[in-house]
Chains A and B, each alone.
Chain A
Amino acid sequence: KQEVTQIPAALSVPEGENLVLNCSFTDSAIYNLQWFRQDPGKGLTSLLLIQSSQREQTSGRLNASLDKSSGRSTLYIAASQPGDSATYLCAVLNFGNEKLTFGTGTRLTIIP
C-alpha cells in the first residue's frame, strides 16, 4: 500500500527566502506525482505534475523534482512571498491504479 509523507508538517520562513518542501513515498512504481496548493477552506490548485519519466518540472518560481529510486520529491519555491502562504500537498498516482494517494501536507507561512 502506497504511503506518502511530507516533512515538515509546518514551516515558517521570512519573505524573500528560498525554501524546499519534501515529499516521500514508499512504492516507487508511480505513474506521476503532483504538487497542489490549498488555501484555508478552499479546494486544491494544481501546481506541477511530474511524469515518472521526468526528473523535474518548473513553473515560474516553482520547481519540482522527482527521484523515483529513492522515493522522494521536492518542491522548491524561490523568492518566497506572503501570498505563497498555504498548505502544500503532494500526491502520487501508481501504475494500474487510478487513485491518488495524498501526503500529509506542509503548512507554509511566509512572514512579511
Chain B
Amino acid sequence: GAVVSQHPSWVICKSGTSVKIECRSLDFQATTMFWYRQFPKQSLMLMATSNEGSKATYEQGVEKDKFLINHASLTLSTLTVTSAHPEDSSFYICSAGKTDTQYFGPGTRLTVL
C-alpha cells in the first residue's frame, strides 16, 4: 500500500498560462501533503505543506499567490502554477504523509515556453 500518483506526468505550456498538477494518495488518506520542486541536478526543495481543509504553509521565498495549493480532500491536493514563466520550468514532486513517513509521487515535468 501507500501509493501516490501525480497527473500529468509532464506538461508543456506557453508563458503566461496557468497549469494545475494533481497529487492523489490512492490507497490511504493523507491529512498532510507536501509539494517539492527540483531543478536539474539539484536536490528536492520543499515549497509548501498542505493540510486538508486548511490553508497551505509556504516555505520562505515561495510565492503563495503564484503557487496556489488546494487540499480539498484527504486523498487529493492540487498545485496550480499561475501565470507560468520559463523560470518556473522544473520537476514538481508531491508526497503524502502516513504515520511519520512520506510517500512520494512520480513527479511532474513542467516546461514553460
Measured CB to CB, the closest approach of chain A to B18, in angstroms, equals 23
For chain A, residues 25 to 67, give those with C-beta under 8 angstroms from any C-beta of chain B.
31-32, 34, 36, 41-44, 46, 49
- Please tell me if B109 contacts chain A, counting CB pairs below 8 Å: yes
A43 and B104 form a contact (CB under 8 A): yes
By a CB distance below 8 angstroms, the chain B residues around A49 are 101
Q: A99-B46, A104-B43 are in contact. Are A43 and B105 (CB under 8 A)?
A: yes
Say yes or no: A99 contacts B34, CB within 8 Å.
Answer: yes
Q: Does B29 contact A (CB under 8 A)?
A: no
Q: Is the CB of B43 within 8 A of A103?
A: yes
In the bound assembly, the distance between CA atoms of A105 and B42 in angstroms comes to: 8
Contact B106–A102 (Cβ < 8 Å): no
A100 touching B102, Cβ below 8 Å: yes
Q: Is the CB of B43 within 8 A of A43?
A: no
Sample of 18 more A-B contacts, CB < 8 Å, known A89-B43, A98-B97, A100-B95: A31-B100, A32-B100, A36-B104, A41-B107, A43-B104, A44-B104, A46-B103, A49-B101, A89-B44, A99-B49, A100-B34, A100-B46, A100-B102, A102-B43, A104-B42, A105-B42, A105-B43, A107-B41
* A-B pairs with beta carbons under 8 Å apart, 12 shown: A34-B101, A44-B93, A49-B101, A89-B44, A93-B100, A98-B97, A99-B46, A99-B49, A100-B102, A103-B43, A104-B42, A107-B41
